[in-house]
Amino acid sequence: MTENENYMPMTTTDLARLGMNFVAYVKPILIEDELRFAICAADGTQMGLAPNRETAFAAIRQHELEPLSVH
């Protein structure tokens, strides 16, 4: 048995769910020509919207998650 045989392969779905309970992502988006900041789960699902990056990060921290930026 090789060392690699001990590992289960991850699906794309498994990888997307990896940080679901720990992180949320903030990414800038344009809505009607105005910059807003989407708050997204680790799998990319949008969970909220904020008027600025600081508010988005604060909202994420209030839900006991770690905010990360997407560029």
Of residues 7 and 31, the one with the higher pLDDT is 31
In this prediction, residue 16 carries a pLDDT of 64
Residue 40 in tokens: 């997204």
DSSP state of 3: G
Q: Is 4 exposed, middle or buried (0-12, 13-18, 19+ CB in 10 A)?
A: exposed
The two three-digit tokens of residue 49, written as one number: 């919207």
pLDDT classification of 11: cutoffs 50, 70, 90 = confident
Asked whether the predicted pLDDT for residue 1 surpasses 60, the reply is no
pLDDT of residue 3: 61
Name the residue type at position 6.
Answer: N
pLDDT at residue 43 in the model = 80
The average pLDDT across 35-61 equals 94
- Asked whether 57 and 39 are in contact (CB, 8 A), the reply is no
12: pLDDT strictly greater than 90? no
